[in-house]
Amino acid sequence: MSTRPPLPADLAALVADPADRSLSVPLPPGRAVHSQEEDSDRPALWLSDGPAPEGLWTRLRAEHARSGLWPLLLDALDDDAEDYRPWASGEFAPGEMSSPAAHDPAALLADWWTRHADPATTPHGTRWPGSAPAPAAVGDPDRIADGLAEHLLAEHPSMRLGLVAADRGADALTTVGWFGPAEHTDDTAEISAVLRSWEDRFGARVVGVGFSTLLLSVAAPPTTPDAALAVAAEHFAFCPDNVWQGVSPLTAYAEHLVGDHSWSFWWD
């Protein structure tokens, strides 16, 4: 019989099978947050009341298989506001999202590319170049994710800790009903479907999430200009604003991806 401590009540309310879950990591003060747009007995996430303690994300990530809770470092639209939007204010809607398993990530990327590609921006014109191949070798995704979490908190110490009931980090955004990419797609499950593919191919992990921003760790980034350009095409399809309002054209954007173990996205 297991002697591991069960989930606290406010965490147990997040998961469908609390009797099968446990958590041995003590948490700072926090609370379960419900969506303000839905009437549901199940909260969307657990949120710390204050900044995430150093090292806690790593310990919770290591406990994920037993707890069923994926940790997120959460930024707000205004860090000083009491409602810490969208997280403390409950501005999300999990019930409006479909399932990531219902979507083909390659088809999603091809469709988004066709909608947004501009010959002036990309060397491929409007023709979808195809998905980037998986690297021959992938490093340690957990080690890379832990390192990025530590770096992120050092750069942004006000970020709070969130816990979401999800089998994998890619699904956490859909589970919580995040609206961050609403200007690109109103179904965050489509975003999660692509993230699942990046988890499998590149050892990506979801680490930080803001009002409309996303930060991933990447265990196997592209190591050559050609490989980087293939990944850059996926990034453009996934989040055109990265190029339109960031580094343009796509060839210049790709240069920044070579050897980079973190990918960031921002939807305007």
Tens digit of each residue's pLDDT (9 = 90 or more) over 137-170:
788 999 999 999 999 999 999 999 999 999 999 9
Q: Look at the chain and report how many structural domains it folds into.
A: 1
Question: 86: cis peptide before it, omega within 30°?
Answer: yes
Answer yes or no: is 170 within a domain. Answer: yes
Q: Residue 120 pLDDT > 70, yes or no?
A: no
Q: Residue 194 pLDDT > 60, yes or no?
A: yes
CA 17, CA 99: separation in Å to the nearest integer? 19
Give residue 208's domain range: 9-266
Q: Residue 268 pLDDT > 90, yes or no?
A: no
Answer yes or no: is 4 within a domain. Answer: no
Joined tokens for residue 164: 């979401």
Q: At 82, is the pLDDT very low, low, confident or very high (cuts 50, 70, 90)? A: confident
Q: At 1, is the pLDDT very low, low, confident or very high (cuts 50, 70, 90)? A: very low
Return the beta strands (E) in the chain as ranges: 30-33, 45-51, 69-74, 160-165, 204-209, 213-218, 262-266
pTM: 0.95
Amino acid 100: pLDDT: 98
Answer yes or no: is 2 within a domain. Answer: no
**What would the pLDDT profile of 109-119 be if each residue is shown by its tens digit?**
999 999 999 87
Mean pLDDT over residues 87-114, rounded? 96
Tell me what the pLDDT averaged over the chain comes to. Answer: 94
Answer yes or no: is 81 within a domain. Answer: yes
Answer yes or no: is 257 within a domain. Answer: yes
Q: At 37, is the pLDDT very low, low, confident or very high (cuts 50, 70, 90)? A: confident
CA 36, CA 39: separation in Å to the nearest integer? 8
Answer yes or no: is 124 within a domain. Answer: yes
Q: Which residues have CB under 8 Å from 45's CB, separation 6+? A: 14, 32, 33, 72, 87, 162, 163, 164, 176
Q: Residue 216 pLDDT > 90, yes or no?
A: yes
